[in-house]
Chain A
């Protein structure tokens, strides 16, 4: 297939692809996201290939490695077609049975089905799993259907028709108008109206303009952008091309974290294929519009997710943010008008064009339209990526989709918005999730990380964790951010060591204000959020550390001691052997004892004891 030059050719090609694909052809799809790949995945793929070869079924059964399905907790995930049977935690040893039973005989292999832990019911198809039931997977849904390294899979599902429509029947102004009417807001954290940003960039003076895709997903615990780039890179590219046309940009960049090798590989393949089909390059679909995209890999600096820092980093320099009195839409990369959007924002664009602004704006809340992908992680039963309409409550996400807290533990807080966000307590679980509501309670949407914490999480320790992260990642340009965070971290460290003083909480609040008000970029401005929200909602934990010298969650090492319950200890010698400090003494079949002066409180004995005899106080 050569370059596609007209909309008609694209539509014909699409038809021919759909016709060629037999919906009843036997096919095995295996999730190829980074999560699933981490569980003996290569062995599984090799086993499928070998078994198909061995049974002489190469013509009969296809195997397709798709993008991330989102349900990372249960990987590797396998779906058989046309039966659509959903298997989880599949191992190489299950392969022969899946092929002979399910694919050839339409029988279900019961033991590989997902069992709902609450209702104890088995789910046969993906959409019967509670994790998926309440989701609305508009952006993320195609991940499980396509091979991200094959552009024809994307085209067969209607891919690039949005671009075709834009280039043949819409003016740039009409495209911008459509995006404004849809109500789409930036998914990277700020929530700025995307259409307005495009409009300002279009209106900015200058012949050379750039568009950038921000894939420097630095928030720990958030990985939806990686999954989109890995699983459906063409949706992001198509969004960028449409945006570039609307803005009048001729060149684009994808700035992607180097820690995501698979995402780098897949977007690279996608760009080459899009060039091959003529969706990138000179005179796209004979419209006179030309556009090319380059990839830049990030150097592992969190601050480069900030737009101005990202742009200097693209120029090959140290990624320090600058003041934004001149916006990047007027003077950004190489001092030219530049429009930067996040991966997920770009992926929303083709959908809006294909289905229309009116349809899109019906999803979500008054101010926040569409869906949002969250990564639901931490102390949660169903870890994974979930796409939900804006306005859904935190409770629905955590309990209905996430399946609640593992081990019968009690929920304590959910942290949203990454290091810039805040911790939301149980009393606010019925909060509808959108940009405004999260900001009202002192947190933020951020890029969509949602870290669930249970009774075993110490909130002072969490605040300390985020500040230590931010101390490392502060670029050091603003004194208040560089020094303020450091001082706050020292106070928090003191508190967790049992050396907290009366007045520490107030001092933290005062420092927070200074750092927030006097830092240049969002990193410093929002750095105090984790501290302020934990003080606001969990002040009693701070007080317990400072006044009673106790860590209620039993996390802070200087405030806890490990002891052995003599009645429960069977004298099995297990902890004694595991202890790295030889701090446990005792004889076989007699209760052991911990030598407190030698104990470093690593907790290995607590974990290794099978009789629940090690206690933490």
Chain B
């Protein structure tokens, strides 16, 4: 077990006073610290919160926000909200997938990029919209994709 992960997990659990009702919040904070939910973190939660592992696993797999697999250094989100959809978002997603040779939900082999879709970011005036590490790129066209990815590629 990685002691640094456990330290982080303990800190989060203590912050919430071991409140079982805050399980989702605890998982969110752990994910923020570790970029994903490592197995050892979930085992630690079972132990300290006294919540059975299957219930933790159910929550961690039900909610879209959680990932049980390590994610890449850069997170690319393509918005597939309705407004973005009618303005051509599926073609943006395809182009990103093509350029990185991954599908939505996957991570590149070098762990540099993870590609995800989101249902709506509420910035519909900018649609179609792509977000890299929280930075918004609006009014996207497939032609703009490579130019943006370039700035984040491993050289």
**Chain A residues close to B by CB (< 8 Å):** 34-35, 37-39, 72-73, 75, 217-223, 226-227, 258-260, 296-302, 313-319, 375, 377-379, 383-384, 415, 418, 449, 451, 453, 457, 462, 465-466, 469, 473, 475, 578, 580, 602-604, 607-608
Q: Collect the chain A residues with CB atoms within 8 Å of residue B121's CB.
A: 34, 259
Q: Collect the chain B residues with CB atoms within 8 Å of residue A38's CB.
A: 123, 126, 129, 136, 138
Interface membership of B70, Cβ < 8 A: no
Select from chain B the residue with minimum beta-carbon distance to A316: B23
Given A319-B62, A379-B86, A383-B125, A608 and B21 touching (CB < 8 A)?
no
Contact B141 A607 (CB under 8 A): yes
Cross-chain contact of B124 among A223, A313, A607 (Cβ < 8 A)? A223
Given A75-B125, A226-B122, A302-B119, A316 and B83 touching (CB < 8 A)?
no
Interface membership of B59, Cβ < 8 A: yes
Interface membership of B35, Cβ < 8 A: no
Contact A465 B62 (CB under 8 A): no
Which 8 interchain pairs have the tightest Cβ spacing?
Answer: A299-B63, A223-B122, A316-B23, A220-B81, A72-B125, A377-B124, A300-B64, A38-B136
Select from chain A the residue with minimum beta-carbon distance to B19: A316
Interface membership of B148, Cβ < 8 A: no
Q: Can you list 19 A-B pairs with a CB-CB distance of less than 8 A? A: A34-B122, A35-B126, A38-B129, A39-B138, A72-B125, A220-B120, A221-B124, A222-B120, A226-B122, A227-B122, A259-B121, A260-B122, A298-B63, A300-B63, A300-B64, A313-B24, A317-B59, A451-B86, A608-B143
Q: Collect the chain A residues with CB atoms within 8 Å of residue B80's CB.
A: 220, 469
Q: Collect the chain B residues with CB atoms within 8 Å of residue A220's CB.
A: 80-83, 85, 119-120
Contact B123 A299 (CB under 8 A): no
Chain B CB within 10 A, most for which of A34, A218, A475: A34
Q: Collect the chain A residues with CB atoms within 8 Å of residue B122's CB.
A: 34-35, 217, 222-223, 226-227, 260, 375
Contact A375 B59 (CB under 8 A): no
Known contacts A220-B80, A297-B28, A608-B143, then 6 further A-B pairs from the complex at CB < 8 Å, ordered by chain A residue: A301-B63, A377-B82, A469-B119, A602-B91, A604-B142, A604-B143
Cross-chain contact of B98 among A222, A314, A580 (Cβ < 8 A)? A580
Instruction: Kindly state the separation between the CA atoms of A310 and B85 in the bound complex, as whole angstroms.
Output: 27
B residues 7-42 touching A (CB-CB < 8 Å): 20-25, 27-28
Select from chain B the residue with minimum beta-carbon distance to A468: B80
Q: Collect the chain A residues with CB atoms within 8 Å of residue B68's CB.
A: none
Closest chain-B Cβ to A40's Cβ sits at a distance in Å of: 10
Contact A607 B142 (CB under 8 A): yes
Q: Collect the chain B residues with CB atoms within 8 Å of residue A377's CB.
A: 82-83, 124-125, 127
B residues 55-77 touching A (CB-CB < 8 Å): 55, 58-59, 62-66
Contact A451 B83 (CB under 8 A): yes
Interface membership of B106, Cβ < 8 A: no
Given A220-B83, A299-B28, A377-B124, A315 and B21 touching (CB < 8 A)?
yes
| Size of interface on B: residues with Cβ below 8 Å to A | 44
Q: Collect the chain A residues with CB atoms within 8 Å of residue B46's CB.
A: none
**Chain B residues close to A by CB (< 8 Å):** 20-25, 27-28, 55, 58-59, 62-66, 80-83, 85-88, 91, 94-95, 98, 118-127, 129, 136, 138, 141-143
Instruction: Kindly state the separation between the CA atoms of A384 and B127 in the bound complex, as whole angstroms.
Output: 12
Select from chain B the residue with minimum beta-carbon distance to A227: B122
Instruction: Kindly state the separation between the CA atoms of A104 and B145 in the bound complex, as whole angstroms.
Output: 43
Cross-chain contact of A299 among B64, B83, B87 (Cβ < 8 A)? B64
Q: Collect the chain A residues with CB atoms within 8 Å of residue B58's CB.
A: 317-318
Closest chain-A Cβ to B144's Cβ sits at a distance in Å of: 10
Select from chain B the residue with minimum beta-carbon distance to A456: B86
Cross-chain contact of B65 among A296, A300, A602 (Cβ < 8 A)? A300
Contact A34 B62 (CB under 8 A): no
Select from chain B the residue with minimum beta-carbon distance to A580: B98
Given A75-B125, A299-B24, A377-B125, A317 and B91 touching (CB < 8 A)?
no
Closest chain-A Cβ to B23's Cβ sits at a distance in Å of: 3
Select from chain A the residue with minimum beta-carbon distance to B141: A607
Q: Collect the chain A residues with CB atoms within 8 Å of residue B136's CB.
A: 37-38
Select from chain B the residue with minimum beta-carbon distance to A41: B136
Closest chain-B Cβ to A383's Cβ sits at a distance in Å of: 4
Given A299-B62, A314-B21, A607 and B86 touching (CB < 8 A)?
no
